[in-house]
């Protein structure tokens, strides 16, 4: 559910942009009748480039650079009107460039691979400087090389821009998930769609746009590139936020998110600090990979806590903030997750179990779990309430009180809950 909510905003941008052009196509040229609005798509693209470089999100910064160069080239360099052959060449370059951007992991741009990706980002300028006749001639020669039986297949009889688009979608959702980039691949999808729509409209492919109306073509171009820029900027911000405020191991909000939340807690709240007992022993005995699995195991159980917000504090420590109606039952909720963690067996990954599970290892997973050793993980919990009658008590003081209560729980033998009473 958390992953799905990330795509609501870019999905709305797509629905609004495409819905506007279908329901009221005359609205777009009317909107961009003011010259100063020509800079509208460059605002989110510029921010995306700067933020992407600053926070090492080069995939989105290079994508934004590609889109900005493409838009400038179409407005000031491309012949008018742009031919279908040129549009096809640009779309195929778009497919290749974006796949290169996102199949490469985040790396410095000051490397040979980084220089190649920067070259791809500026490739639209060189591409659109080529006369239309060159691409028309090349497209004719390529068509002669395609066997006749391929032309008889209905799916391949689609216009090449549409076929290129289907190829992009296929590669994104087959190749990228194998790299573990499900989120990035989907955000890329929402960024590419408006760019492809802009090129199709600019080439006069939909009947709503006439090549005899250059102002209308430019208006649709700017409109869809604005939507692409907004979605590209959203993707950059989403990934940047995830890097800074979300723990990559447990997928929980990290310590930076906790500090931000502590600034806006209500007057009545409670904080619980949770520590995995003998975590160092787990690391020393079974290895750090097993220790990481133990952290995910405990985090998964604690995420079920009701009416509380869970955070990864650092190391083997977690924090839960209770407020509003959860205050009276905070100890009950903590007791529930304490008992669940204690009673749930944690299976040690077998040495013959592959790191990545595939179709051939699905049955082996259950078999390996039964054969492997299992241990019971326990946690110590310290709970502290904001003192109702004490004015000016800060959230840091309550957090410190919860930490002292946790220390008492560990000193008394661990595997228990200690509450710091007001």
CATH number, domain at 305?
3.30.70.270
**pLDDT value, residue 72:** 92
Q: Which residues lie below 8 Å from residue 195, measured CB to CB, with a gap of 6+?
A: 67, 70, 94, 224, 225, 228
Lowest-pLDDT choice from 99-103, 380-384, 406-410: 99-103
Q: Is residue 231 part of a domain?
A: yes
Among 152-161, 324-333, 384-393, the range with the most confident prediction by mean pLDDT is 324-333
287: pLDDT strictly greater than 50: yes
**pLDDT value, residue 239:** 84
Does the global pTM surpass 0.75?
Answer: no
127: pLDDT strictly greater than 90: no
272: pLDDT strictly greater than 80: yes
At which of 200, 221, 245 does a domain end?
A: 245
Average pLDDT of the segment spanning 384-406: 80
Q: Are 192 and 326 members of one domain?
A: no
Lowest-pLDDT choice from 104-108, 195-199, 268-272, 345-349: 104-108
Q: Is residue 154 part of a domain?
A: yes
* pLDDT category of residue 393 using cuts at 50, 70 and 90: low
Average pLDDT of the segment spanning 92-98: 82
The count of structural domains within the chain is 2
**pLDDT value, residue 361:** 43
Average pLDDT of the segment spanning 67-84: 81
Q: Are 321 and 393 members of one domain?
A: yes
Q: Is residue 79 part of a domain?
A: yes
Q: Are 267 and 237 members of one domain?
A: no
401: pLDDT strictly greater than 70: yes
**pLDDT value, residue 357:** 45
At which of 191, 224, 245 does a domain end?
A: 245
The torsion region of residue 292 among left (phi > 0), alpha (psi -120 to 50) and beta comes to alpha
* pLDDT category of residue 178 using cuts at 50, 70 and 90: very low
Average pLDDT of the segment spanning 393-397: 81
407: pLDDT strictly greater than 70: yes
| Angle between helix 214-245 and helix 8-23 axes, rounded to 10 deg | 170
Phi, psi of 246 (to 5 degrees): -130, 135
Q: Is residue 66 part of a domain?
A: yes
Residue pLDDT, tens place only, 323-354: 876 777 888 889 999 999 999 999 887 555 55
Lowest-pLDDT choice from 88-92, 212-216, 412-416: 212-216
53: pLDDT strictly greater than 70: yes
How do 317-323 and 269-276 pair as beta strands?
A: antiparallel
* pLDDT category of residue 379 using cuts at 50, 70 and 90: very high
Whole-number average pLDDT of the chain: 79
403: pLDDT strictly greater than 90: yes
Q: Are 361 and 296 members of one domain?
A: yes
* pLDDT category of residue 368 using cuts at 50, 70 and 90: very low
Q: Is residue 311 part of a domain?
A: yes
Q: Are 104 and 240 members of one domain?
A: yes
Q: Are 241 and 259 members of one domain?
A: no
163: pLDDT strictly greater than 70: no
Q: Are 239 and 263 members of one domain?
A: no
| Angle between helix 84-103 and helix 132-145 axes, rounded to 10 deg | 80
| Angle between helix 42-54 and helix 214-245 axes, rounded to 10 deg | 30
3-state SS record for the chain: CHHHHCCHHHHHHHHHHHHHHHHCCCHHHHHCCCHHHHHCCHHHHHHHHHHHHHCCCHHHHHHHHHHHHHHHHHHHCCCCCCCHHHHHHHHHHHHHHHHHHHHCCCCCCCCHHHHHHHHHHHHHHHHHCCCHHHHHHHHHHHHHHCCHHHHCCCHHHCCHHHHHHHHHHHHHHHHHHHCCCHHHHHHHHHHHHHHHHHHHHHCCCCCCCCCCCHHHHHHHHHHHHHHHHHHHHHHHHHHHHHHHHECCCCCCECHHHHHHHHCCCCCCEEEEEEEECCHHHHHHHHCHHHHHHHHHHHHHHHCCCCCEEEEEEECCEEEEEEEHHHCCCHHHHHHHHHHHHHHCEEECCCCCCCCCCCHHHHHHHHHHHHHCCEEECCEEEEEEECCCCCCCCCHHHHHHHHHHHHHHHHHCCCCCEEEECC
Q: Is residue 91 part of a domain?
A: yes
At which of 191, 213, 245 does a domain end?
A: 245
Average pLDDT of the segment spanning 137-151: 55
More confident residue, 337 or 364: 337
Among 201-205, 248-252, 381-385, the range with the most confident prediction by mean pLDDT is 381-385
Task: Print the domain residue range for 180.
Answer: 2-245
Lowest-pLDDT choice from 18-32, 252-266, 288-302: 18-32
Q: Is residue 227 part of a domain?
A: yes
Is the distance from CB of 381 to CB of 334 less than 8 angstroms? yes
Q: Are 212 and 350 members of one domain?
A: no
Q: What percent of the chain has pLDDT over 90?
A: 33
Q: What is the largest CA-CA distance in the chain?
A: 85
**pLDDT value, residue 111:** 82
How many alpha carbons fall within 13 Å on the CB side of residue 335?
Answer: 6
Q: Is residue 250 part of a domain?
A: no
Q: Are 104 and 168 members of one domain?
A: yes
* pLDDT category of residue 1 using cuts at 50, 70 and 90: very low
Lowest-pLDDT choice from 1-5, 139-143, 176-180, 360-364: 360-364
Q: Are 215 and 313 members of one domain?
A: no
Q: Are 182 and 106 members of one domain?
A: yes
Q: Are 226 and 282 members of one domain?
A: no
């Amino acid at each position: 559910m958390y992953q799905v909510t990330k795509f609501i905003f870019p999905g709305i941008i797509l629905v609004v942009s495409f819905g506007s052009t279908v329901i009221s196509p005359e609205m777009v040229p009317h909107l961009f009748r003011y010259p100063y609005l020509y800079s509208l798509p460059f605002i989110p693209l510029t921010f995306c480039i700067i933020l992407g470089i600053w926070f090492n999100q080069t995939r989105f910064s290079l994508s934004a650079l590609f889109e900005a160069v493409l838009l400038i080239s179409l407005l000031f360099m491309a012949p008018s009107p742009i031919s279908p052959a040129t549009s096809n060449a640009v779309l195929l370059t778009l497919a290749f460039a974006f796949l290169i951007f996102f199949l490469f992991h985040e790396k410095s741009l000051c490397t040979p691979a980084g220089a190649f990706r920067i070259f791809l980002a500026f490739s639209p300028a060189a591409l659109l400087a080529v006369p239309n006749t060159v691409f028309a001639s090349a497209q004719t020669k390529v068509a002669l090389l395609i066997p006749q039986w391929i032309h008889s297949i209905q799916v391949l009889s689609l216009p090449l821009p549409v076929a290129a688009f289907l190829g992009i979608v296929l590669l994104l959702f087959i190749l990228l998930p194998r790299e573990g980039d499900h989120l990035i691949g989907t955000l890329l999808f929402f960024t590419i769609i408006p760019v492809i729509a802009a090129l199709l409209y600019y080439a006069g492919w939909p009947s709503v746009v006439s090549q005899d109306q250059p102002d209308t073509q430019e208006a649709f171009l700017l409109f869809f590139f604005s939507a692409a820029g907004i979605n590209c900027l959203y993707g950059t911000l989403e990934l940047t936020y995830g890097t800074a405020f979300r723990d990559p191991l447990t997928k929980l909000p990290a310590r930076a998110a906790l500090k931000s939340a502590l600034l806006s807690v209500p007057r009545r709240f409670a904080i619980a600090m949770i520590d995995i007992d003998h975590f160092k022993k787990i690391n020393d005995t079974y290895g750090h990979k097993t220790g990481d699995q133990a952290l995910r195991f405990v985090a998964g159980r604690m995420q079920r806590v009701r009416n509380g917000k869970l955070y990864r504090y650092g190391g083997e420590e977690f924090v839960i903030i209770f407020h509003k109606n959860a205050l009276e039952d905070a100890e009950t909720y903590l007791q529930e997750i304490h008992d669940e963690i204690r009673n749930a067996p944690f299976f040690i990954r077998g040495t013959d179990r592959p790191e990545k599970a595939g179709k051939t290892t699905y049955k082996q997973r259950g078999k390996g779990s039964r054969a492997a050793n299992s241990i019971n993980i326990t946690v110590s919990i310290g709970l502290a309430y904001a003192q109702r009658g004490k004015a000016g008590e800060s959230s840091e003081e309550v957090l410190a009180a919860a930490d002292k209560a946790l220390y008492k729980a560990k000193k008394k033998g661990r595997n228990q809950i200690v509450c710091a009473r007001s």
